[in-house]
Homo-oligomer: A and B are copies of this chain.
Amino acid sequence: MIRKKQVTLNDIAARSGVAAMTVSRVVNGNGYVSEETREKVLAAVTEMNYRRNGLARSLKRQKTETVGLVLGDLSNPYSTELANAVRESLSAQGFNLFICISEHSGKEDIAAFEALVDHNVDGIIVATRSNRDGNERLDRIADSDLPIVVVGRDFPHKGVDYVSADNFTGGFEATQHLIDLGHRRIGFIGAAFEDRHSLKRLQGYLKALEKHDIAVDERLITGRSESAADVPGYSTEKIGYEGMKRLLSLPNRPTAAFARNDLTAFGAIAAIKEAGLSIPNDIAIVGFDDTPLASHTTPALTTVRQPMRLQGQIAAEMLLRRIRAVEDVRREDRILDCELIVRGSTVAAKL
């Protein structure tokens, strides 16, 4: 199909009898242009339905005024809030936001990074889980001085800022809360093999157990099996559901569990109910995030609230700071406090 040939500055220039540069000045509203010429040009612009070519413009100006956001786990309300906050902050400053999804693998991370770099975005905000291949590529991109900010985790590169909730302390407090209630067999739901090391919430859980001299039982730590990543539409809820089923099938099942996030907790809750057990009496549950639904489950979910919008705002600010910087920027990192929200899903352990 023969697409309509796009109208260029030169077409407008020819039509209105001025130089292309003058048209450019009118369109961009900079430089000196007489009122008379401006109107003439504007008329031609409207008549010919001209729209400037962003590619050419960006190529020449060496900037796109566009930022990329790489999200893992789109379905998590955390991502939604984050993306919205980022977008709002950026658009207030005249920047566009393009989102790329990378749900499962380092390969997808890399594909997303490359797509963004290829389009010469002015900066990238990364909110995927840490993984080797992805980190390696990100490192190379950061080396090239492209502004990068990482959200929800850290990233060891002098040119990369990060903002995150205090997942470690959050995980610690969630577990501490269960311990305080008298629980001793406490499960952790949602730790895939590959993120045992990077998962701060898990580390907080382990730390709390350690502090109270509770031995770690590996069978109580459960998560997605390797293959789940490949199943399209495999949801976080399902991970929680299956994880809890596994915990329930243990000879000596836990009396409480901490789920890596609310969605996982919802799945776990479903599994518990399905088994005919009661929450919180048979099993207490703590989630993480405080998503909108958390207060609406029965019983309402005890969870760790993290500031989602704030992380997005800060990430956007950090990135803009780098984009606009004239001289070298010192690395910045922000760890934001979480807050334990106690609701009905946790109660003192039966003795």
Interface status of A84 (Cβ within 8 A of chain B) = yes
Listed A/B pairs (28) with beta-carbon separation below 8 Å: A1-B329, A3-B145, A4-B144, A49-B140, A49-B144, A51-B117, A54-B119, A55-B64, A55-B119, A66-B119, A74-B74, A74-B80, A77-B235, A84-B103, A85-B232, A87-B101, A96-B100, A97-B101, A97-B115, A98-B98, A98-B100, A99-B99, A119-B119, A233-B308, A233-B309, A269-B296, A270-B296, A298-B298
Does A237 contact B99, Cβ atoms closer than 8 Å?
A: no
Nearest CB in chain B: distance from A211 CB, A: 33
A side interface size, CB within 8 A = 65
Does A232 contact B309, Cβ atoms closer than 8 Å?
A: yes
Interface status of A221 (Cβ within 8 A of chain B) = no
Does B292 contact A237, Cβ atoms closer than 8 Å?
A: yes
Known: A81-B233, A99-B100, A273-B298. 4 other contacts (CB 8 A): A4-B145, A96-B118, A98-B99, A298-B298
- A326 interface neighbour in B1, B88, B96, B273, Cβ under 8 Å: B1
Does A75 contact B66, Cβ atoms closer than 8 Å?
A: no
Interface residues in A127-162 (C-beta closer than 8 Å to B):
140, 144-145
Interface residues in A268-307 (C-beta closer than 8 Å to B):
269-270, 273, 292-293, 295-296, 298
Known: A100-B98, A103-B84. A293 touches B237 (CB 8 A): yes
Q: How many Å lie between the Cα of A238 and that of B100 in the bound state?
A: 28
Does A100 contact B101, Cβ atoms closer than 8 Å?
A: no
| Residues of B with C-beta under 8 A to A295 | 270
Does A53 contact B120, Cβ atoms closer than 8 Å?
A: yes
| Residues of B with C-beta under 8 A to A91 | 111
- A84 interface neighbour in B1, B74, B84, B88, Cβ under 8 Å: B74
- A80 interface neighbour in B75, B96, B100, B145, Cβ under 8 Å: B75
Q: How many Å lie between the Cα of A145 and that of B267 in the bound state?
A: 46
